[in-house]
Structure 1
Amino acid sequence: MMMKGVPAAAARLGLAGLIPFVGLAALAHLAPGSGARSWLAAYGAVILSFMGGCRWGFAATGMGEGPAVRPLVLAVAPALYAWLSLRAPAPFDMELLALGLLALYLADLKLTKDGGAPHWWPALRLPLTLGATLSLLAGAAA
């Protein structure tokens, strides 16, 4: 199973978080004038910001380097990137958000290896990152 070792509550809530991604991407294709595309981009930005917040939480609890300047700056960067991505014209906004999620996943692999995130973090992040990224790219193509 892809989420081996992930706490059940984290797995369930994480998977539930994919519902808006998948639903809005589908709606963007089925009803192009519905506004689903802009809702999808906004949700993607919120989730990318949230993922940065997770990194802040890991640092604040003393994982990895702890609450030092570098990990805290890196924790804020996803929110700033997401905010700026929303200013890009379509379809680049969602493509940039997808790229941000993928880049943050790769950074989180290193963070986990260095003791800055729980050992199960990549197992949770992989399917969620793939689902969110594919949804954003599908929405960008709508």
Structure 2
Amino acid sequence: MTQIPRSALLLGLAGVLPFIWGALTIYSDPAVTLTLETLGPRFIGPYVQLSYGTVILAFMSGVLWGFSTKADGSMAATGYALSALPALWAFFMVGGGPVSAAINLIVGFIALLGLDFTFWRWGLAPAWWMQLRVLLTTLVVACLLTVVI
């Protein structure tokens, strides 16, 4: 098992903060008040989680695209095609109210984990990739579940 580089781990965990903050503001009135006074309503509860989740799925498409550049021939073509799926999923499936959008983001992040595994098995992602992605996906899905339940 290869250790996750510290910078990748810290930046990955920092990337989960908007999801955590959104979940916190669902359950904490003081956090809502602080957010309204400092950042505005866009950064509360489902709003921040859903908009940021959409951005992150699109970002992860770019990450997978980058991995695809390490492949050749049909594997590269398959990688490029697969890498577009998270962004397309977010574009077409996130909407229709907070609960359905959160459910679709959860499905998108779990499916992304499958794509991460595929790219990792192909040797295109770093050896530590799945350790990081399982951790981050678990945290993100747990936060998004606060919108659903």
TM-score when normalising by structure 2: 0.81
Are the equivalent residues in 1 in contact too, given 2:61–2:83 (CA < 8 A)?
A: yes
User: 1-side partners of 2:18 and 2:74: how far apart?
Assistant: 33
The alpha carbon displacement at 1:28 in A equals 2.5
Using the alignment, how far apart are the partners of 1:73 and 1:8 within structure 2?
31
Aligned residues: 138
Deviates more, 1:42-51 or 1:3-12: 3-12
Counterpart amino acid of 1:113?
Answer: R
Q: Which moved more, 1:87-96 or 1:26-35?
A: 26-35
Give the one of 25, 46, 60 matched to 2:55: 46
Task: Check 1:109–1:16 CA distance in 2 against 1; reply closer, same or farther (3 A cut).
Answer: same
The residue type equivalent to 2:47 in the other structure is S
Q: From the superposition, tell whether residues 65 and 92 of structure 1 become closer, same or farther in structure 2 (CA, over 3 Å).
A: farther
Distance 1:20 1:40 in 2: 6
Structure 1 distance, partners of 2:11, 2:74, is: 26
Task: Please identify the structure whose Cα radius of gyration is greater.
Answer: 2
Q: Which position in structure 2 is the counterpart of 1:136?
A: 144
Deviation of 1:67 after TM superposition, in Å, equals 7.7
Question: What's the offset of the Cα at 1:19?
Answer: 1.1
1:126 has 2:124 as partner: no
| Greater fraction of residues in helix | 2
Alignment of 1:56-95 (within 5 A): 56-60=65-69, 62-63=70-71, 68-95=76-103
Which of 106, 117, 128 is matched with 2:125 structurally?
117
The answer as to whether partners of 2:102 and 2:144 remain within 8 angstroms in 1 is yes
Cα deviation, 1:4-35, whole Å, max 9, x if unaligned, reads 51111101100111111111111123358945
CA distance in 1 between counterparts of 2:119 and 2:62 reads 14
Counterpart secondary structure, 1:91: helix
CA gap of 1:65–1:102, structure 2 versus 1, over 3 A, is farther
Mark the CA change 1:13 to 1:65 in structure 2 (over 3 Å): closer, same or farther: farther
Q: Which runs of no fewer than 5 residues in structure 1 stay unpaired? A: none
Q: Which has the higher contact order (CA 8 A, sep 6+)?
A: 1
1:4–1:114 Cα change, 3 Å: closer
1:56 CA drift (Å): 0.4
TM-score (norm 1): 0.85
